[in-house]
Structure 1
Amino acid sequence: MVVRREVLLGEVWFAVPTICVEDSPELLALYLPSGAAFGFPESGVFPAGRHPWQLAGHQAWSGHGKLMLHRPGEAHSVDLFWSGPERAFTGWYFNLQDPLRRTPIGVDTLDHELDLWWGADAERYVWKDVELFAQRLVEGRYPGMAEAIRAEGDRIAALLDAGQRWWDESWAAWTPDPSWPVPRLPDGWDTVPC
């Protein structure tokens, strides 16, 4: 089990337990199964407010789960989604985030709100949450990071426009082991130093 935490302005403000599918020098693949409970710290300063999923009342991941592919040092993950009773692959989600930092219990990052989505049947990707990203900048969520976040999104878009695929597309056919239990956050997940 790998705890994936989000750290905002030096404070843990969200965590979720994931299952490690692959951990090699080239790739860390984490699976977030349906039913995995979210963790929100009970105390903290939270200068940019509480996590939006906490404010919305979300308590656990739902659906078919998602697979997150991370390359070392990259400021994004490539996330895969499925839907429906037949678990049909629905597309690739390019999640802009801080490069992963290893911790004794897993990894730390911070979602950057701005993303790209390429549906399985679509001819091209679309940008996601552009307005929300602008709002988060006004709220002070990413001080001094706006240009770097935009540049990473533009870099990904340019690679996609050039026809480059830096991930193995065969992951779309991947299925989780049905015997895997839904992981739970360990005690003290919010006290491990960032």
Structure 2
Amino acid sequence: MSGPVLRPGQTVVRREIMRGEPWIAIPQVCVQDDGDLLVTYTPGGTPLAYPASGTFPVGEHPWKLAGSTAWRGHGRLELHWTGVEHSLFLFWSGPERTFQGWYLNLEDAPRRTAIGFDTLDHELDVWWAADAETYEFKDVVEFEETGPARYPGRMDAIRAEGARIARLLDAGDLWWDKAWADWTPDPSWRPRDVPPGWESVPYEGR
């Protein structure tokens, strides 16, 4: 994941690039960046940005179609590794900010940009609830239905990444620090905005 190392507290724009076009942008906060592991946080209330125009070969982003304009709840923590085709999401809920579990989100390995990084969600996910003995795959049917159009020629590779994750988990091999479950955000961090012109920032295609 080449590019300048980001500073804690710096705004990081997560963009998804779908079939050669920006699809959605989420302005996040840099928690940690060592050049290999990039950790970002999306505060509750963060605005979700969608491109004003495009050809949208597979349709506009589902969240836009559902009318979603901002991130809700306690926020989302994301761990991204250089060259790895998934990230790890952490969620909390309720007045006590109770940890909910580990969400392995299959997606493009992060590609640095001038405003943050680009990726693309692959629909297929692995969820391990905090109170569960094991994990489960999520959105399998949706992936099989939408994948051929969204990720042409990449379906087998995405399935293989899901299988690789399952093998590691079955072997008890956790590649992240479980202490992240106890992480709390800096109380001064507020929702960020995407910078003007975010749609035209150059990107590296897949």
Note whether the superposition's TM-score is higher than 0.5. Answer: yes
Residue 161, structure 1, aligned to residue 180, structure 2: no
Alpha-carbon distance between aligned partners in 1 of 2:59 and 2:190, rounded to the nearest angstrom: 32
Partner in structure 2 of residue 188 of structure 1? 197
| Rounded Cα–Cα distance in structure 2 between residues aligned with 1:131 and 1:82 | 26
What amino acid maps onto 1:73 in structure 2?
A: G
For residues 147 and 159 of structure 2, what CA distance do their matches in structure 1 show? Answer: 12
1:49 Cα offset (Å): 0.5
Give the counterpart of 1:120 among 130, 135, 153: 130
Alpha-carbon distance, 1:83 to partner: 0.6
Residues in 1 aligned to 2:88 and 2:161: alpha-carbon distance in whole angstroms: 13
CA–CA distance in 2 between the matches of 1:70 and 1:104? 17
Q: Is 1:76 the counterpart of 2:86 in the alignment? A: yes
5+ residue gaps, structure 2: 1-10
Q: Are 2:41 and 1:31 equivalent residues in the alignment?
A: yes
CA shift at 1:71, angstroms?
1.0
Q: 2:59 aligns with which of 42, 49, 54?
A: 49
Q: 1:131 aligns with which of 105, 125, 141?
A: 141
AA paired with 2:180?
Answer: W
Q: Residues 73-132 of structure 1: CA distance to partner in whole angstroms, max 9, x if unpaired?
A: 100001101011000001000000000000000000000000000000100000000011
Q: Deviations over 1:2-24 (max 9, x none)?
A: 00000011110100000000000
What TM-score, normalized to structure 2? 0.92
1:93 maps to amino acid: Y
- 2:114 alignment partner AA: P
In the alignment, is residue 93 of structure 1 matched against residue 93 of structure 2? no
Runs of 4+ in 1 over 3 A off after TM superposition: none
Q: TM-score, normalised by structure 1?
A: 0.98
Q: Percent identity?
A: 60
Q: Deviations over 1:107-160 (max 9, x none)?
A: 00000000000000100000000011011125x111001001000011001100
Unaligned runs of 5+ in 1: none
Once superposed, what is the RMSD of the aligned Cα atoms? Answer: 0.7
Q: Which amino acid aligns with 1:88?
A: T
Q: Distance in 1 between matches of 2:82 and 2:147?
A: 26
Task: Return the match for 1:66 from 60, 73, 76.
Answer: 76
Measured in 2, the distance between the counterparts of 1:172 and 1:23 equals: 18
C-alpha distance in structure 1 between counterparts of 2:189 and 2:35, whole Å: 24
Give 1:164 shift. 0.5
Distance 1:90 1:115 in 2: 15
